[in-house]
Amino acid sequence: MQSRPSGVELLEALESGEVRAAEPGPEGWVVNAWVKEGILDIFRTSEVVPHGLELAPGAGESGDLAFRDKEPFLVRRFTDEDDIRLVPGGSAIRRGTYIGPGVVCMPPMYINVGAFVGAGSMIDSHALVGTCAQVGERVHVSAAAQLGGVMEPVGGRPVIIEDGAFIGGNCGVYGGVLVGCGAVLAAGVVLTGGSVVHDLVHGCELGGRPGQPLEIPENAVVIPGSRALEGEYATSKGLAAACALIVKYRDASTDAATALEDAVR
C-alpha cells in the first residue's frame, strides 16, 4: 500500500519511483487515482510564476530564458548519478516524472508530470510522453510518437507501454490503451481506448470494454489498416474507416527489425 504524500513531496516520490500513477499487480495494472488527484491539487493551489533557465555556456545571449508555469513545476535537472542521457536541443522533462537509468532522450521531446519511463528506454525526437503515462524498460518510443496523457477523468487508466515494446514513428496511443510486453506498433498506428483491432492470426476482434480500455497482446505486431463501411451511401462511395490489424506475433525477423542499439545508450 503506497503512502500518500502531497505537494512537493508527491513530486519527489514520483521522481524516485516510490509512487506511481499506475502500477502492475498480481491481477493486472492498478490505477492509483489519488496520485492524479494530488497532481491536480498542486495545479489548483499553485500560482503561475516566472521560471528562469540558465542558458548553457556558449549558447549565445547571457541571462535567463524565462518561462511561466505553476510554481512547483520546474523543469527537471539531472546529474551523473542519474545515468540519463538528455541530448541538447529543446527537450524538457517536467518535475514529478520517473526517468530510469540508461534512458536516452533525443531532442526535441517532452515528458509530462506523473509519467514513468523505465530503464534503458529511448524517447526519440518530437515524441511526447503524456501526463501519468507508464513506459516500461527498453521501450523505443520513435520519432513523433504521442503517448496521450490522462488527468480527466481522475480514475481513468493512463496509457501503459510494457517492457520491450516498440512504438513506431508517428504512432498515437491514447485513452488508457495498454500495449503488452514486446508488442510492436508499426509507423502510423493510432489507438484509442475505444479502437477496434482485428487479429488476423487468431481470427478475432479486440476492443475495449466499459472501464477497461483496449489492450494489445504481448508480442503482437500491429499495422495500420482499413475496414469497409456499411450502408448504401458508404458502399456506393467505396468508403472505409481506419483500423489496426495484428498481422503476426514477434519472430526472429521482427526482433532484428526492432533491435535496440546499446551503442547509442
- CATH code, domain with 182: 2.160.10.10
pLDDT, position 77:
87
Report the run of H or E that residue 205 belongs to, with start and end.
strand 204-207
pLDDT, position 58:
44
Q: What is the pTM of this model?
A: 0.91
**Rounded distance, CA 222 to CA 218, Å?**
11
Strands across the sheet containing 204-207: 85-86, 104-105, 122-123, 140-141, 166-167, 184-185, 220-228, 240-249, 196-199, 204-207
Number of domains comprising the chain: 1
Q: Show the CA angle centred on residue 137, arms to residues 180 and 176, nearest 5°.
A: 40
- Surface-to-core class of residue 119, CB atoms within 10 Å of its CB (0-12 exposed, 13-18 middle, 19+ buried): middle
- Cell numbers at 10, concatenated: 508527491
**Rounded distance, CA 22 to CA 159, Å?**
9
Tell me the residue range of the domain where 213 lies: 7-51+66-257
Q: What is the signed CA dihedral for 80, 84, 85, 91, rounded to 10 degrees?
A: -110
Q: Please indicate, yes or no, if residue 83 is contained in any of the structural domains.
A: yes
Q: Please indicate, yes or no, if residue 91 is contained in any of the structural domains.
A: yes
Q: Please indicate, yes or no, if residue 264 is contained in any of the structural domains.
A: no
pLDDT, position 211:
74
Q: Please indicate, yes or no, if residue 238 is contained in any of the structural domains.
A: yes
- Residue carrying the nine cell digits 494489445: 216
Q: Please indicate, yes or no, if residue 44 is contained in any of the structural domains.
A: yes
Pick the closest to residue 191 from 210, 202, 203, 206 (CA basis): 206
pLDDT, position 56:
46
R_g (Cα) of the chain, nearest Å: 20
pLDDT tens, residue order, the chain (265 aa): 456 998 999 999 999 999 999 999 999 999 999 999 999 999 999 999 887 665 444 444 444 567 788 999 888 889 999 999 999 888 999 999 999 999 999 999 999 999 999 999 999 999 999 999 999 999 999 999 999 999 877 678 999 999 999 999 999 999 999 999 999 999 999 999 989 999 999 999 999 877 789 999 999 999 999 999 999 999 999 999 999 999 999 998 888 888 877 777 6
Q: Please indicate, yes or no, if residue 59 is contained in any of the structural domains.
A: no
pLDDT, position 97:
97
- Cell numbers at 159, concatenated: 496509457
Q: Please indicate, yes or no, if residue 28 is contained in any of the structural domains.
A: yes
Q: Please indicate, yes or no, if residue 212 is contained in any of the structural domains.
A: yes
Are the CB atoms for 113 and 39 separated by under 8 Å?
yes
Report the run of H or E that residue 254 belongs to, with start and end.
helix 252-257
Pick the closest to residue 36 from 156, 130, 117, 175 (CA basis): 156
**Under 8 Å CB-to-CB from 228, ≥6 apart: which residues?**
234, 235, 239, 240
